[in-house]
Amino acid sequence: MRVLFVTPECAPLTKTGGLGDVAAALPAALRAQGNDVRVLLPRYREIDPAGAEERAQLRLLGMDVRVLEKGDCLLVDAPALYDRDGNPYQDAAGVDWPDNALRFGLLSRVAALLAGSASPLAWRPEVLHCNDWPTALAPVYLHFEPARSGTVMTVHNLAFQGIFDAALLERLELPRATFAIEGVEFYGRLSFLKGGLVYADAISTVSPTYAREILTEELGCGLDGVLRERRGVLRGILNGVDGEIWNPMTDPHIAERYSWTSLERKAANKLALQSRLNLAPEPQAPLLGMVGRFTHQKGVDLLAGAVDELVQLGAQVCVLGHGEHEHEAALSAAAARHPGRVACAIGFNEELAHLIEAGADMFLMPSRFEPCGLNQMYSQRYGTPPVARATGGLIDTIMDGETGFLFAPAESAALVAAVTRALAIYGDARRWRELQRRGMTRDFSWAGPARQYAGLYAAHARAPVP
Ligand code: ADP
Ligand code: GLC
């Protein structure tokens, strides 16, 4: 199967969250199963064009664009839009780029071109796989092509929709007819994601539970009606773990490597983490870790509200992340209140994220909603049982009391209660080890999910007329 996988981020080239990991690991797993998958993304400043070959020169949406090929990637090169400091979505100060509609409209437009009959490339995909709102206009553009590949739209997070002023319709060269209830119109504005959900042949999201949750008003982010209408083509396929990158036996970022048969070596990572973050070097104190975007979604405020009690319980807490200012401030204040017991590292740091997975005793994910979540799977592999809210993919990947701990109310007290439950088992070394080993020996590989995607592709493949 020839698949064009279009994404706004792909690790290690550029990553802000889980989609970056998925965009690297899923195409690789599909290739290992014999599929021909190319990843299309913008040529951001951090992506070195050295070694890339030009495949096409185009004029699209009034812009000069080149398509470059580098390894398995196709890069959309439009320096005026993508050659900047900052991340794919925001400037260095964390403010959304003002021209995001054009930046990701162009990404979608190029994807549609390469998946349609007018493609300048000899390589023609049978399926275009779109990921999240920055790619979601591609099925809209393709809908109007005389011949095209099949389209799959994956929702990694329904809360981000790409909603812009309707006046941009013309700038994005979208047919007037698309500005309708059965199209990109969303309360008088232009919604990228809605367009993808309406026009794609198939829709998937990243866990079976989230696939059900987004049909409800509570978690449907205003699109539950659209999704209910399309529920016949909606699937939930769980993410996997890239076992080459997230593996405590081979991880180059951690202080000491270990496996489920040498768990005693995990202690060296805890000590390294404590010393790195200026926490008291106490081997017995349960160390709770968290890594993630500091947003309402991740329940960072639930943790901030629980920290004092967690310290009371004898725990140490360390968090790594960045994002909304109020969350950064609340966690930094907690660290200041509890020197040596609570540490807060602000920023994005791949290596420290690995050390936290390895060095912490438990991993916290108090998410309000979580489409899939990757860290709880990583943490199980690292023998660091997750304590998480029972929502979305966290429900599908954590066995409560067996490989981790789940709690229901989105409240600090419920988080504290779950940690208390975990601590009771932590105090019993034999039981804790069993819990760790059960998590470490689970199969979270991408092989199974990749086969499910391949099945989805097969059901919707189409060959564009050459
Ligand atoms: P989401 O995609 O919603 O952010 P996931 O759990 O799916 O959540 O994936 C998050 C990924 O991003 C994980 O690989 C996690 O380690 C990584 N990550 C998030 N924040 C940071 C950070 N501040 N530093 C390093 N890695 C981070
Ligand atoms: C999103 C979700 C996260 C998911 C990731 C990769 O960012 O918030 O739950 O794991 O995408 O699919």
Domains in the chain (CATH in brackets) are: 2-240+447-460 (3.40.50.2000), 263-440 (3.40.50.2000)
- The runs of H, that is alpha helices, within 161-299 are 168-171, 192-199, 208-213, 224-229, 266-276
**Tens digit of pLDDT for each residue in 290-330?**
999 999 999 999 999 999 999 999 999 999 999 999 999 99
**Tens digit of pLDDT for each residue in 31-85?**
999 999 999 999 999 999 999 999 999 999 999 999 999 999 999 999 999 999 9
The rounded distance, in Å, linking the Cα atoms of 191 and 65 is 24
**Ligand 1 atom closest to residue 376's alpha carbon, by position in its atom list:** 6
Q: How far, rounded to the nearest angstrom, does the alpha carbon of residue 394 sit from its chain's CA centroid? A: 13
Q: What would the DSSP string read from start to end of 363-391? A: EEE--S--SS-SHHHHHHHTT--EEEES-
Ligand (nearest to CA of 157): 2
Asked whether the predicted pLDDT for residue 464 surpasses 80, the reply is: no
Q: Does ligand 2 lie within 6 Å of residue 206's CB atom?
A: yes
Ligand 2 atom 11 nearest Cα: 156
Asked if 354 contacts 221 with a C-beta cutoff of 8 angstroms, the reply is no
Asked whether the predicted pLDDT for residue 349 surpasses 90, the reply is: yes
Q: Does ligand 1 lie within 6 Å of residue 16's CB atom?
A: no
Q: Write down the residue that tokens 């970056």 correspond to.
A: 20
SS (H, E, C) 428-461: CHHHHHHHHHHHHCCCCCCHHHHHHHHHHHHHHC
Bridging pattern class, strands 150-155 and 127-131: parallel
For residue 57, the surrounding DSSP H or E stretch is strand 53-60
How many angstroms is it from 461 CA to the middle of ligand 2? 25
How many angstroms is it from 154 CA to the middle of ligand 2? 11
Ligand 1 atom 19 nearest Cα: 292
* Per-residue confidence (pLDDT) for residue 463, from 0 to 100: 80
Cite the beta strand spans of 263-341 per DSSP E.
287-294, 316-323
**Ligand 2 atom closest to residue 154's alpha carbon, by position in its atom list:** 12
* Per-residue confidence (pLDDT) for residue 217, from 0 to 100: 98
Q: Does ligand 2 lie within 6 Å of residue 371's CB atom?
A: yes
**Tens digit of pLDDT for each residue in 144-194?**
998 999 999 999 999 999 999 999 999 999 999 999 999 999 999 999 999
Q: How far, rounded to the nearest angstrom, does the alpha carbon of residue 66 sit from its chain's CA centroid? A: 27
Q: Does ligand 1 lie within 6 Å of residue 17's CB atom?
A: yes
How many angstroms is it from 348 CA to the middle of ligand 1? 9
**Tens digit of pLDDT for each residue in 357-387?**
999 999 999 999 999 999 999 999 999 999 9
The rounded distance, in Å, linking the Cα atoms of 410 and 391 is 10
Q: Does ligand 2 lie within 6 Å of residue 17's CB atom?
A: yes
